[in-house]
Structures are given as C-alpha cells and as structure tokens.
Structure 1
Amino acid sequence: MEGNSKTVPSIVVYVTVPNKEAGKKLAESIVKAKLAACVNRVPGIESVYEWKGETDAEELLIIKTRQSLLETLTEHVKANHEYDVPEVIALPITGGSQPYLEWLKSSTRD
C-alpha cells in the first residue's frame, strides 16, 4: 500500500453489538457517514469475558476503513452503541487486492 496514491493506510475494526437489529443500524450508519467502505455483520458469536461476570450472544461487525478515520469512527460507535464500553479494536491491513484497497479509499471520506 505504501507509495501508491490510489490507496491509503487502511484498517479492519472489530465492534461487537448485542443483537442483529443493533448491528444493522450501526453498520448502516457507519457506511452512510462514509466512515467505512464496508461493514460485514457476523451473527451468532458468543463472547466470554469478565465484565460483570457475563457471557453474551452477540454479533460481530468487521469494518474496513482508512486508518485516519479510526478516531472519528470510534466516537461514532460510542455515540450510537448501547454498551457503556463498546469494543472498538483496529488491526492494520498490510496488503491485499489493489482494486479493493483503491475502492476502500474512494468509498470513504478524507
């Protein structure tokens, strides 16, 4: 990705949500705001963690976006999520399909 003006440093962001309805609403709002090129919704995950002793059935959002949008995306998630501490973790995209990475850039805001 480096050195190619048709792409930008990009990331994959994971966000868990409590159910299908919350996932659909949040995913659509993220894409509509051009904070991500694409959001995959993965139903049927079970999260096990030590937060008030819980195990929850959840949905996972896999969000593909620009690295430069992480802070704005995180604020959007916090403002539109029912959890007190929503999961927002980012992983770098270190390579991939050039046309896809170009589309990711063109589908997101600067």
Structure 2
Amino acid sequence: MPTVYITAPTAAADELAETLVEDRLAACVNRLSTTSTYRWDGEIQRDEEAVLLAKTTAEVYDDLVTRVREEHPYDVPCIERFDEDDVFEPFAEWRAESVANR
C-alpha cells in the first residue's frame, strides 16, 4: 500500500487534502508545514509549502495522481509514491476500507 508524498503551496494544501479524502482517493492526508528551497527557471527559490502524505492503495493511485494534477496550481507538482513492505495490518485494512466504494 502506498503513501504518496506531495508538496503544495500552503494556501492550496488544505483544499487538496480534503478533495483527496472526500473523493476516496486517500484514507487520510497528513499536512506538514515546511520551507522548500529549489531551483526553478534557473533561479534559486525559497517558499513556504505544505507536505501532504496521502495514505492510499495501489488500486486508486493513478486516479489520485490524475486528481492532484488537475487541482494542483504548479505546472510540475511533486508527486512521489512510497510503497510500504511492512505496515501494521489493522491500519492497512482501515486504509483499504476507507478508499473502497468510490
């Protein structure tokens, strides 16, 4: 079962997280505040952003990516998938149940 790492502007993060849970693309989305330093268009940038950790399933991962790309304000959003080999089974069951019945 994957956890998806997404960064977003602070102003857009809460709405994006809520959309993913509401549409049953994620069972839960954790939001962490961070400062990101990166290169864009040849310049070093520094922005306040949010890190979203979306708990989802492999079955809906592609739909989650599609929705993030539709809703995200960046041209190139950060979307990275981490697959867990070892997860607490009751949590895995809850996650699967939470994204089922879309």
Query: TM-score when scaled to structure 2?
Result: 0.91
CA distance in 2, matches of 1:34, 1:68: 12
Whichever structure has more strand as a proportion of its residues is 2
CA distance in 2, matches of 1:68, 1:103: 15
How many equivalent residue pairs?
Answer: 99
CA distance in 1, matches of 2:93, 2:22: 19
Instruction: Report runs of 4+ in structure 1 exceeding 2 Å deviation.
Output: none
CA RMSD of aligned residues (A): 1.2
Q: In structure 2, the residue corresponding to 1:50 is in which secondary structure?
A: strand
The runs of 5 or more residues in structure 1 that have no matched partner are: 1-9
The runs of 5 or more residues in structure 2 that have no matched partner are: none
Aligned position for 1:26: 16
Aligned pair partner of 2:60 in 69, 79, 86: 69
Aligned position for 2:71: 80
Aligned position for 1:3: none
Is 1:50 matched up with 2:39? yes
- The one-letter code matched in structure 1 to 2:26 is A
